[in-house]
Structure 1
Amino acid sequence: MARTPDIDPALLSRLITNRTSRRRFLGGSAAAAAGLALGGSFLAACGSSDSGSSGSSSAPADDGSPASGMLRISNWPLYMAEGFVADFQTATGLTVDYKEDLNDNEEWFAKIKEPLSRKQDVGFDLGVPTSFMAVRLNGLGWLNEINHDRVPNIANLRADLLEANVDPGRKFSAPYMSGLVGLAYNRAAAGREIKSIDDLWDPAFKGKVSLLSDSQDGLGMLMLSQGSNLENPTIETVQKAVDLVREQKDKGQIRRFTGNDYADDLASGNVVIAQAYSGDVVQLQADNPDLQFIVPETGGTTFVDTMVIPYTTQNQKAAEEWINYVYDRANYAKLIAYTQFVPVLSDMTDELNKIDPAAAANPLINPPKEILDNVKGWPGLTDEQTQEFNTAYAAVTGG
């Protein structure tokens, strides 16, 4: 599928996957780092999802008229299929001001928090933050509810995402793209298939294991393997997983803790098993077919970027029109074929087959139900929880 004539497709793919993993690493740790640096005043200013805020604001009264005018969108770079915006404008008659100005969740929040706190315009009507940031914004009461009457295609959303505990019924956030966090391994170096978390601790792989530095991505699958409830994490269940990591680090089992910079070690065999992101492995397999990705038997984790409408929006109807257009399966297949992320819509195989059969057949892009059923998402955490969990993990990782 053509993307842009000015950049090599292989390089573009690597840029996409690097952005994915780097966003998760920064987003998962920056709140804690800021909290540690700035103390309680930062946490109090940011609020939390259970700090007494009323949550989502009510959307403007809907008079039933069609959307019109301009829609301003703030999204991540390299996150939009070529021609998609133009097709939306043709289909709806709306004008879109599309900006790729969301490079990191925390940077983006720092830019918009002051005007939002004063209910001033922030320059966009729809943004695409990662789920944890959407929860924070909602906890502060800075998001409008989404009028589902104007988004009938929300019926195409995967059931597990529709009723996710971060936003049951998806009142304030509409999933855009998802990805899996599991284990990647070098089959040639391992000499056998890898299936479980216990394989990480095989003495045969001593010094050849890497874990992710991000607390949620690094600890989530370990907590699941210990029987902990990821939907209700506590410092006790987090600490139990941290203690396991400390034990294995002290034994010399873990080579290092990484962001998304595990690719070279995996390819060379310096690392046999790495906690990894599915999107990275899709691209790495093109160069090294010995690299495999699996969701551990006890489960892996998932992350989601979401579409949200700030309560300062100047065009609520147009934002909802955009969400509905994205949630049409034929339209959404174009986005998946470009980004190679995991779809947030159900039953995408037929539409993907029409434009990209390879993506439709790739279980890392279009996972079967048994894989999706075996991944869990973290709930929305308060800033205090984020700080506490990240501090516990950083005591082992040195991050």
Structure 2
Amino acid sequence: MEQYEPDSLSAAQVAAMRRSLANGRASLTRRSLLRASGVGALTLGGLGALSACGIPPAKREGSQGPSSTDHSAEEKTLAFSNWTQYIDISDDEKHRPTLEAFTRRTGIKVKYTEDINDNVEFFGKIKPQLAAGQDTGRDLICVTDWLAARIIRLGWAQKLDPANLPHAYAHLAPQFRRPDWDPGRAYSYPWTGISTVIAYNIKATGGRKVDSVTQLLDDPKLKGRVAFLQEMRDSVGMTLLDMGKDPGKVTDADFDAALGRLQKGVDTKQIRRFTGNDYTGDLSKGDIAACLAWAGDLIQLQVDNPDIRFAIPAAGYMTSTDNLLVPAQARHRTNAEKLIDYYYELPVAAQLAAYINYVCPVDGVGPELAKIDPELASNTLILPDKAMAAKSHAFRSLSTEEETAYEEKFAKLIGA
């Protein structure tokens, strides 16, 4: 088993990380577009024609393509596609410290490309090659869970070798181990978790706490100053939880009932609008008093504006993941597995979490993160405690037909 010894953090690196948090680079640039476009997701509906640790893999719609020949032994290279501003960078923005450290230890050169701006848009780029059984030119990709599920079901992801993932298996946090779309993480590992919570501007609410979807939808003092998210699974999921329904077991009737509650909020003008992460500016100014929000945004917002607060509803909150997959026919699966495993080493995971501020899926990373910034290590938006983790819920995997129907209904609701 190959063991990596991560570089220790220098004082300059720690200072650079803290400056990155202060200048806003770490969080708010992460999602300049929607995590998943409601209308764009409908294009996936047309694809209908088309285990690790002793746990069987998820059911697959497509046939398993021929095994790809792995050239990792003779080709010390790796092509990695990721979202923009989703990895640690140096203070002068010329270096990616963790990637460069990986290359020094392994000799594997990483071609890192920030070419994912939207799940649907990116899938459109790689779908023709995947469908044709061709190499996409990428050995590792990072996509949100619903798209990861689709790629796995279609047979377009390579099964991972547990022997190359000792740190990943040992350190993966319990709440991320058994997604219904990839039980046992046979094909994927999370890069980050994404929590959907309630955010509010305490000045705009007149000093009142907002901690439930019921308040967002029914409190007359918030009328016209409420925002929900354009991501269907987040807005509908949070509404379902408020209704006492489990998004992990959602039925058509449950979905329609939740949509009805949101429609009432639209009709009465309780809801001002549905947003991507552009809610951040209006929330800071107080034009939006309260909203659904992504936790990674709130850490930076709170640095810039002490009036920004967040709440975890008693009913629970929605969580999703961005996930690392090796596409079918990729030439360097073993190299990709080594990189996945590297980011589950505790010091490396801490460096990544300190920069991007989303939920770290690596269990036990707290002490290493505390060396960088004790406040980050105690922030439950980055490292959920057991009580918070127990309140997390994921939207169940949808069939192609369900996904199309649900997204169509939601797109009509939000006027997309």
Is the counterpart of residue 43 in structure 1 residue 54 in structure 2? Answer: no
Q: Once the 2 structures are TM-superposed, how far is the Cα of residue 384 of structure 1 from its aligned partner?
A: 2.3
Match of 2:40 in 1: 30
| 1:38-85 CA distance string (max 9 Å, x none) | xx7x23355xx86742468767699xx979621221112212223111
From 46, 51, 62, the counterpart of 1:53: 62
Structure 1 pair 106–396 and aligned structure 2 pair: CA distance change class (3 A): closer
Give the residue type in structure 1 aligned to 2:303: A
- Give the drift of 1:359: 1.4
Shift of 1:390: 1.7
| Runs of 5+ consecutive residues of structure 1 not aligned to the other structure | none
Query: How many angstroms does 1:219 deviate by?
Result: 0.9
The Cα of 1:156 is off from its aligned counterpart by 0.4
Question: What is the RMSD computed on CA atoms of the aligned residues?
Answer: 2.6
Q: Give the letter aligned to residue 77 of structure 2.
A: M
CA contact 2:149–2:181 (8 Å) conserved in 1: yes
Per-residue deviation, residues 165-201 of structure 1 (Å, max 9, x unmatched)? 1211001111111121011011122222222222212
Equivalent residue of 1:128, what SS? strand
- Residues 45-84 of structure 1: pairs in structure 2 closer than 5 A: 45=49, 52-54=61-63, 69-81=76-88, 82-84=96-98
Q: Secondary structure at the match of 2:28?
A: helix
The counterpart of 1:255, out of the listed 257, 272, 284, is 272
- Kept in 1, the 8 Å contact 2:69–2:331? The answer is no
1:320 deviates by: 1.1
Q: How does 1:6-21 map to 2 (within 5 A)?
A: 10-13=23-26, 16-20=27-31
Distance of 1:138 and 1:287 partners within structure 2? 40
The alignment's TM-score, normalised by the length of structure 1, stands at: 0.89
- 1:75-100 deviation line (CA, Å, top 9, x unaligned): 12212223111100112222222222
- Residue pair 2:360, 2:383 contacting (<8 A) in 1 also: yes
State the alpha-carbon separation in 2 of the partners of residues 168 and 129 from structure 1. 17
Amino-acid identity (%): 34
Matches within 5 A, 1:296-375: 296-375=313-392
- The alpha-carbon deviation at position 249 of structure 1 amounts to 2.5
Cα offset, 1:336, TM superposition: 0.5
2:184 equivalent to 1:169: yes
AA in 1 matched with 2:184: G
Change over 3 Å in CA distance of 1:334–1:56 after alignment to 2: farther
TM-score of the pair, normalised by structure 2: 0.85
- Rounded Cα–Cα distance in structure 2 between residues aligned with 1:68 and 1:51: 31
Kept in 2: contact 1:73–1:127 (CA 8 A)? yes
> What 5-or-longer segments of structure 2 have no aligned partner?
1-13, 51-57, 89-95
Q: Is residue 265–residue 271 contact of structure 2 (8 Å, CA) maintained in 1?
A: yes
Structure 2 counterpart of 1:205 = 222
1:222, distance to aligned residue in structure 2 (A) = 0.6
Specify the alignment match of 2:99 in structure 1. Answer: 85
Question: Could you tell me how far apart the structure 2 residues matched to 1:10 and 1:61 are?
Answer: 42
Q: Is 1:216 aligned to residue 257 of structure 2?
A: no
Equivalent pairs, count: 385
Q: CA 1:371/1:287 → structure 2, altered by over 3 Å: closer, same or farther?
A: same
Q: Secondary structure at the match of 1:362?
A: coil
Q: Note if 1:109 corresponds to 2:109.
A: no
| Contact 2:81/2:115 (<8 A) preserved | yes
Q: Which of 185, 193, 198 is equivalent to 1:178?
A: 193
